[in-house]
């Protein structure tokens, strides 16, 4: 009993990802090149193959991504592929009518290319002329579709020269929308898919792609994209031979990254980006003459030919081989490792130069932008930190941060291992391991300190920008500066100690029992006040016992700090809007309340808890008037006022914004200079 085959079922079960929408066209092109080879042998220079792009005659436009400055094109509805190869001989016709034919199996054909045609196109028309042994011409003309299989399409009259015309019509919408649109892009896709024919001895026939009045020659693309050829090499992976064709491509936006092209049956099956898979291999490399190029490798072997899938979009090869096996199974990882090792060997000189450039990039970044990594830089290099010299600052910061985290994790593991041996007889290398661990921890701690100091430099730079006017002469609002000093509408029970930058005003403000930012007095547990007025910042500190916010339960007497921030160059200070008097009122209300700690414990009454009032404001005429009214003294540089208010037992300081930034910078100058950061 003979088995029958359903063409519709075979087409339905044939895989064609939309990302490979042009694969049916590429298969038709490869068939044409093979037909030319069969006719002309080594004289392929006599061969001709042309592809014509057919677009919709309607006025509708393909509104897919066209890029800036490009005009939308009419949708592609089909392709016409014409070659002067041997034509549809009786043997070729029989093979075409036989699914899964092995007629051309010796050159990697699987007999499924025509199924891909029907997967992406509604119908296919073929007109072909061949020459018999006696030199007479014969014609074949037929249609091919899912509904009607292969059917004659009239007599093939008016025979011209030997060759074939394949018309792929009715480009199905899902594939049409996913396919490349321009003649340049389609020609390049064809070139890369068929590049094996251009690289082989004897080269390829003349191949062109035409779209209206524009024609692109694939033979010219070879000269346009290939800078030079490197010696071909062969690697052995578990007894299997793999041939590597190594190319130096001219650097351009079209060749941005080094790539590995996996080939089978004289076709590119899949490609892989090699960026960073070999240390120093990122984008462009430089040869001995400093000319830039991009590396590309075309990998082929009988093993790949035997394991390529029928649709030629992937390989039936495991990505990994887990554990030991009875046979030496070859995985994609095995092949890739062999290729990368060979790439590192043949590109040793340019890769070494690229690694040195990357190292210089890291050193420059650490010296000028991220000094926190300087104490551990030598240790990071041992973690194989190699970077693209053109890497962006933010990407380099993320890379170094990740490596630093790994270094810290390794140090923790090493410390646990070392200290786990306490109490037992220490091994011979115990002292050496302990010293190595302590050295690493010291470097990491220095890095943390450098990060803290660098953050202060960034904060001061940002504050300096906030107090300046913009192009329209406007100044930042109070809340922008307030949020930089400390987040608004919160207190120290909700934020960490690192969230506050009150050290800009006074280093002692880093230590407090309770701190509130832009909250009503009524909402503060330390006051017992019913007032809904809001000081910008209010803090308490225990006398002689400076504590962080999380530890605020110790008594006795708290000190009180109030900070009031005004908009730069704001000139509305008056008797009703006197920031000095506002601060003193806040101090008085805090003292009058049923004062409790942040955890609700009562604080013993005290008549004279020390109070400190800081007003951050520019010295406008009205602000100067309020300072003089409060009997405050001008500082020696004329950029602030200070004094002591006896009735309220409060020290008062009015700080000009410039003085605020300058004073904070001066206090940190020694640290900035040590790290090589600008301090002015």
Q: What is the DSSP string of 30-93?
A: HHHHHHHHHHHTT-GGG-EEEEEEEE-SSS--B-S---TTPPPBPPEEEEEEEE-SS---HHHH
pLDDT at position 67: 52
255-277 tens-digit pLDDT: 578 989 898 877 788 889 998 89
Query: Mean pLDDT over residues 107-123, rounded?
Result: 74
* Half-sphere exposure in the Cβ direction for 82 (13 Å, CA): 12
Q: Is the pLDDT of residue 542 over 60?
A: no
β-pairing verdict for 240-250 and 233-237: antiparallel
DSSP alpha helix (H) spans, 277-429: 302-307, 332-346, 348-368, 377-381, 393-419
> Which one, of 88, 82, 81, 80, lies nearest residue 38 by Cα?
88
Question: 80 preceded by cis ω (within 30°)?
Answer: no
pLDDT at position 385: 66
Q: What is the 3-state secondary structure (H, E, C) of 512-542?
A: CCEEEECCCHHHCCCCCCCCCCCCCEEEEEE
- Residue 161 burial (CB < 10 Å; 0-12/13-18/19+)? exposed
With H, G, I as helix, E, B as strand and everything else as coil, classify residue 151. Answer: strand
CA distances from 660 to 271, 463, 505, 622 (A): 59, 10, 7, 20
Long-range contacts of 101-107 (CB under 8 A, 24+ apart): 104/34, 107/34, 107/265, 107/266
Contacts of 319 (CB under 8 A, 6+ apart): 331, 332, 333
Q: How confident is the model at residue 25 (pLDDT cuts 50, 70, 90)?
A: very high
Share of the chain above pLDDT 70, in %: 75
The tokens for 615 are 């007003």
Question: How would you label 425-449 residue by residue, b for 16+ Cβ within 10 Å and e otherwise?
Answer: eeeeeeeebbeebeebeebbeebee
Q: Is the pLDDT of residue 425 over 70?
A: no
Query: Mean pLDDT over residues 454-471, rounded?
Result: 79
- DSSP per residue, 481-500: HHHHHS-SSEETTTS-GGG-
37-85 tens-digit pLDDT: 989 988 888 999 999 999 998 755 554 555 555 567 889 999 999 999 9
pLDDT at position 497: 56
With residues binned 3-state (H G I as helix, E B as strand, rest as coil), the percentages for the chain, rounded to 5, are: 40, 20, 40
How far, in whole angstroms, is CA 232 from its chain's centroid?
A: 33
Cβ(539)–Cβ(518) under 8 Å?
no
225-244 tens-digit pLDDT: 776 778 889 999 999 999 99
275-326 tens-digit pLDDT: 889 988 887 888 887 788 888 898 999 999 999 887 777 899 998 877 655 4
> Which one, of 574, 564, 591, lies nearest residue 648 by Cα?
591
* Half-sphere exposure in the Cβ direction for 176 (13 Å, CA): 22
229: left (phi over 0), alpha (psi -120 to 50) or beta: beta
Query: Mean pLDDT over residues 404-427, rounded?
Result: 72
What CA–CA distance (Å, rounded) separates 532 from 398? 44
Length of the chain equals 680
**Which letter does DSSP use for residue 319 in this model?**
S
316-357 tens-digit pLDDT: 999 887 765 545 789 999 999 999 999 999 999 999 998 888
CATH architecture, range 7-61+72-218: 2-Layer Sandwich (3.30)
pLDDT at position 517: 52
β-pairing verdict for 206-211 and 48-55: parallel
What CA–CA distance (Å, rounded) separates 191 from 452? 55
What CA–CA distance (Å, rounded) separates 534 from 527? 12
How far, in whole angstroms, is CA 672 from its chain's centroid?
A: 32
| pTM of the predicted structure, to 2 decimals | 0.55
* Better pLDDT: 123 or 160: 123
Least confident window among 406-420, 518-532, 571-585, 597-611: 518-532
pLDDT at position 510: 61
Which residue has tokens 């011979």? Answer: 428
546-603 tens-digit pLDDT: 222 223 344 444 577 888 888 888 777 776 788 898 888 878 877 775 555 555 555 5
What CA–CA distance (Å, rounded) separates 332 from 270? 12
What CA–CA distance (Å, rounded) separates 323 from 622? 81
> Which one, of 299, 461, 451, 440, lies nearest residue 383 by Cα?
440
**How many Cβ atoms sit within 10 Å of the Cβ of residue 676?**
12
pLDDT at position 342: 95
């Amino acid at each position: 009993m003979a088995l029958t085959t359903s063409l519709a079922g075979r087409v339905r079960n044939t895989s064609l990802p939309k990302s490979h929408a042009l694969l049916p066209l590429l298969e038709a092109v490869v068939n044409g090149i093979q037909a030319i080879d069969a006719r002309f042998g080594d004289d392929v220079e006599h061969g001709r193959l042309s592809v014509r792009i057919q677009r919709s005659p309607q006025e509708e436009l393909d509104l897919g991504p066209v890029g800036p400055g490009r005009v939308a094109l009419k949708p592609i509805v089909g392709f016409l592929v014409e070659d002067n190869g041997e034509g549809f001989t009786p043997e070729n016709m029989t093979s075409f009518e036989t699914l899964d034919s092995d007629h051309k199996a010796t050159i990697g054909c699987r007999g499924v290319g025509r199924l891909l045609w029907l997967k992406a196109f509604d119908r296919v028309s073929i007109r072909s002329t061949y020459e018999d042994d006696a030199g007479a011409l014969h014609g074949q003309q037929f249609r091919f579709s899912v509904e009607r299989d292969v059917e004659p399409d009239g007599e093939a009259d008016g025979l011209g020269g030997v060759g074939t015309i394949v018309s792929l019509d009715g480009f199905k919408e899902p594939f049409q929308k996913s396919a490349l649109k321009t003649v340049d892009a389609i020609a390049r896709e064809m070139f890369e898919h068929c590049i094996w024919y251009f690289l082989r001895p004897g080269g390829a026939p003349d191949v062109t792609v035409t779209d209206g009045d524009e024609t692109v020659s694939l033979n010219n693309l070879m000269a346009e994209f290939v800078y030079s050829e490197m010696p071909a090499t062969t690697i052995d992976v578990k007894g299997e031979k793999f041939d590597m064709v190594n190319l130096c491509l001219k650097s351009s936006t079209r060749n941005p990254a080094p790539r590995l092209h996996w080939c089978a049956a004289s076709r590119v099956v899949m490609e892989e980006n090699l960026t960073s898979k070999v240390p120093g291999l990122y984008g462009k490399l430089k040869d001995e003459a400093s000319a830039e190029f991009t590396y590309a490798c075309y990998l082929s072997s009988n093993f790949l030919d035997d394991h390529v899938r029928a649709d030629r979009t992937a390989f039936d090869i495991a990505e990994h081989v887990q554990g030991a096996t009875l046979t030496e199974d070859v995985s994609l990882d095995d092949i890739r490792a062999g290729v990368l090792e060979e790439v590192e060997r043949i590109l040793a000189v340019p890769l070494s130069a690229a690694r040195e450039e990357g190292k210089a990039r890291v050193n420059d970044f650490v010296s000028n932008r991220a000094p926190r990594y300087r104490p551990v830089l030598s240790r990071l290099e041992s973690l194989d930190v190699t970077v693209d010299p053109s890497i962006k600052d933010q990407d380099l910061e993320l890379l170094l941060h990740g490596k630093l985290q790994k270094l810290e994790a390794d140090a923790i593991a090493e410390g646990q291992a070392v200290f786990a041996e306490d109490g037992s007889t220490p091994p011979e290398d115990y002292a050496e391991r302990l010293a190595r661990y302590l050295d690493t921890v010291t470097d990491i701690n220095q890095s943390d300190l450098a990060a803290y100091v660098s953050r202060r430099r960034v904060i001061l730079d940002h504050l300096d920008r906030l107090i300046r006017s913009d192009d329209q002469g406007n100044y930042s609002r109070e809340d922008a500066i307030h949020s930089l000093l400390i987040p608004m509408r919160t207190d120290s029970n909700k934020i960490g100690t690192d969230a506050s930058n009150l050290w800009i005003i006074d280093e002692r403000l880093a230590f407090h029992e309770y701190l509130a930012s832009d909250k009503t007095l009524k909402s503060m547990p330390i006051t017992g006040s019913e007032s809904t007025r809001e000081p910008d910042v209010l803090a308490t500190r225990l006398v002689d016992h400076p504590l962080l916010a999380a530890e605020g339960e110790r008594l006795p007497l708290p000190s009180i700090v109030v900070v009031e921030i005004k908009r730069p160059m704001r000139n509305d200070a008056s008797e009703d809007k006197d920031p000095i008097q506002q601060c003193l009122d806040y101090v008085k209300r805090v003292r009058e309340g049923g004062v409790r700690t942040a955890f609700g414990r009562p604080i013993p009454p005290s008549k004279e808890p020390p109070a400190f009032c800081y007003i951050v404001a520019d010295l406008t005429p009205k602000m100067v008037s309020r300072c003089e009214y409060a009997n405050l003294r001008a500082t020696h540089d004329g950029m602030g006022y200070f004094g002591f208010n006896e009735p309220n037992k409060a020290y008062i300081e009015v700080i000009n914004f410039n003085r605020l930034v300058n004073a904070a910078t001066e206090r940190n100058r020694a640290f900035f200079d040590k790290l090589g950061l600008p301090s002015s």
